[in-house]
Amino acid sequence: MKPNIHITADAELKKQVSIGELEKTMSLILASFKEQFIKTNVLFEGDLPSIEVVLNKKTSALRQGCFLPRLSSHKILKFQLFYPIDKNEMDAVILHELMHGADLSNLKEKLGTFDRSKEFYLCSTLEDQLKYIENSGIQNFSIQWVFLHFLSTFRDEGIAILGEKLLGKKTGAISFEKAFFNFQKDINQVTQLCCGMKFHNRINSKQVRTIFEDTAINAYQYAEVIIYELLKGSIAGLEKMSLHDLLANNVLKEKLQLLKSALQLDLAEYIRELMKLKHKNTPLINSELLLSYCGVIQGGSSEHPAFFRQLYLVSHNNDKTGFTELIRSVCDRKMQPGEIKEKLDLFNQTSFSNDLKSEVRKLANEVFAKRNNNNKEVSDWALTYLLNKEDLIYDQLDYLGLQDDWMVMEAASSFE
């Protein structure tokens, strides 16, 4: 394989640094890109992309390089590196940015959400916001960005750091327990803050900026440990291994397999997996807080903050009556079997923007197929919840809209 890699220096930098020095640096970068690209190329889907790198003057002491998803396509990936480069760090930086490059589809999807969110903020009155939602259609529904930004930073950086560690020379990782409690503290803090914020003027506030900055710093401490914990159960041989131990092991096949599944995990699934994550019976995410947060971005406060906790209890206790009562408390009426069939057919026909939706679809069809005299109440109420677009979390909310539906379907399909 001959990778197509093109490196140029920015005009300003050329004025300040001698040609000889620049050429030396650029040939080091080229060699490093080649080496790191060979390590990561199985992670790219389809034909291998070409790579374009621009060397710029360093503007921040912390930043050594970045991937530019907005300017990249699946054919050409664009990167920036900053001069002077710390030669000891160069391989790790390039490996990290290539991991982001392999994650292009997910990063593009995130940018789309962010752009719509920005547009949404241009609507200063509630009336304008409602008009915007109406005109933009379901696909363009916007969402308040802070909480999603927080989670997507942990997802995106977690994957890149995981790649940097598994394929590079970095070793060591903090324990899952430590990562879990740090993350739990951070998530709850951000959710609480988001819940407390009103609809307007959120994006420029100083508080939000602080969250964004702190998030990035915290993500670098342990985001990869969390991603690893979500995925290790699905890779044979890694189920009982800590990331720390895996890093000391020479098992390239498993490491690549893990990175591939990490890149498959889109933000909606990442959030779903986080909602399942527990440490000694303590859940990572406070679902009631999450529900209140969704209530806030839907333009009101949630009336049923205890819904997720009760849902967990009734399914844990195999309490079918409790389940139907709970769903009844948030749905006005139970749909008739004919209506359910009709709406489920429509739901099956809609396109699937993420894998969470196809998983919800699979569970829904299972519940529907297993409907019988013993469980028809559970089945009908659960499907009513799913097929009602304005349930507790509106289905069209990016990344979050189906989390509640997934939990309801999962509970309904688990009853004996």
- x/- site string to Zn ion, residues 79 to 108, per CB under 5 A? ------------------------------
Nearer to Zn ion, 157 or 395 (CB): 157
Q: Where are the alpha helices (DSSP H) in 265-354?
A: 267-276, 287-297, 307-316, 320-330, 337-349
Which residue from 237, 242, 238 is spatially nearest to 177, judged by alpha carbons?
242
Q: How far is the C-alpha of 305 from the C-alpha of 302, rounded, in Å?
A: 6
User: With contact defined as beta carbons under 8 Å apart, do 28 and 90 qualify?
Assistant: yes
Nearest distance from C-beta of residue 96 to Zn ion, angstroms: 6
- x/- site string to Zn ion, residues 167 to 206, per CB under 5 A? ----------------------------------------
Under 8 Å CB-to-CB from 198, ≥6 apart: which residues? none
User: With contact defined as beta carbons under 8 Å apart, do 179 and 225 qualify?
Assistant: yes
Other beta carbons within 10 angstroms of residue 42's beta carbon come to 11
| Site stretch for Zn ion (CB under 5 A), options 20-28, 86-94, 153-161, 339-347 | 153-161
Which residue from 167, 42, 151, 45 is spatially nearest to 94, judged by alpha carbons?
167
Q: Is 160 in the site for Zn ion (CB under 5 A)?
A: yes
Q: Is 356 in the site for Zn ion (CB under 5 A)?
A: no
Residue nearest to Zn ion (CB): 160
Nearer to Zn ion, 103 or 269 (CB): 103
| Site stretch for Zn ion (CB under 5 A), options 82-90, 159-167, 272-280, 396-404 | 159-167
Nearer to Zn ion, 160 or 289 (CB): 160
Residues 224-283 that bind Zn ion (CB under 5 A): none
Nearest distance from C-beta of residue 166 to Zn ion, angstroms: 15
Q: Is 340 in the site for Zn ion (CB under 5 A)?
A: no
| Site stretch for Zn ion (CB under 5 A), options 119-127, 154-162, 210-218, 245-253 | 154-162
Instruction: Report CA torsion sign: 194, 200, 203, 205.
Output: negative
Nearest distance from C-beta of residue 388 to Zn ion, angstroms: 39
Nearer to Zn ion, 159 or 360 (CB): 159
Compute the 3-state secondary structure of the chain and give helix, strand, coil in percent, each to the nearest 5.
65, 5, 30
Nearer to Zn ion, 66 or 256 (CB): 66
Nearer to Zn ion, 95 or 160 (CB): 160
Other beta carbons within 10 angstroms of residue 301's beta carbon come to 10
Q: What is the DSSP letter of 310?
A: H
> Residues interacting with Zn ion, by CB under 5 A?
157, 160
